[in-house]
């Protein structure tokens, strides 16, 4: 049995494509956003803070991306998963870096999670739109 494994990771070029797609959508919406792309281990790969984006959005975008890769699921789906489960409802939101509202997605390339995107700066529904546009720019899910 092997003692190591290889894990796919988003490239810098691909991360920039994701950032550019999300930023284009934010500009269409007229909402300045912060967008973070992390690798599968949660390490920041690429980041942008648009002019006028709130300072608070910087950390939230990074935490959304981290949460998405931690659970391999979009952040907006986590609330549905925990809302009727008291042990999870009272523990997960208390965990450092957890975000339970929209704007974070895993980046799936060739069927494998290769990173995550987090967008913050507008209402979470706008953040989701921008993150989805970032994924679409790369042809990722």
Q: Where are the beta strands (DSSP E) in 19-66?
A: 34-38, 44-49
Q: What is the pLDDT of residue 94?
A: 85
Q: What is the pLDDT of residue 1?
A: 86
The sign of the CA dihedral 117, 122, 124, 130 is negative
What residue has token string 């792309």?
Answer: 37
CB 29, CB 122: distance < 8 Å:
yes
What residue has token string 């648009």?
Answer: 50
Mean pLDDT by groups of 10 residues along the chain of 141 residues: 89 97 98 98 97 98 97 93 90 89 96 96 98 94 64
Which domains does the chain carry?
12-138 (3.30.450.150)
Q: What is the pLDDT of residue 72?
A: 95
Q: pTM of the predicted model, to two decimals?
A: 0.93
If phi over 0 gives left and psi between -120 and 50 gives alpha, with beta otherwise, what is residue 115? left
CB atoms within 10 A of CB 51: 5
Q: What is the pLDDT of residue 141?
A: 64
């Amino acid at each position: 049995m092997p003692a190591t494994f290889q894990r796919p990771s988003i490239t810098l070029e691909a991360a920039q494509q994701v950032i550019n797609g999300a930023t284009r959508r934010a500009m269409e919406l007229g909402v300045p956003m912060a967008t973070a792309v992390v690798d599968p281990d949660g390490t920041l790969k690429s980041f942008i803070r648009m002019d006028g984006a709130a300072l608070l959005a910087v950390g939230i975008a990074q935490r959304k991306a981290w949460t998405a890769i931690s659970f391999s699921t979009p952040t907006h789906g986590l609330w549905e998963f925990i809302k009727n489960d008291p042990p999870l409802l009272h523990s997960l939101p208390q965990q450092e870096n957890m975000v339970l509202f929209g704007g974070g997605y895993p980046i799936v390339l060739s069927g494998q999670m290769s990173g995550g995107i987090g967008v913050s700066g507008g209402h979470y529904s706008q953040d989701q739109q921008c993150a989805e546009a970032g994924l679409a720019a790369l042809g990722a899910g």
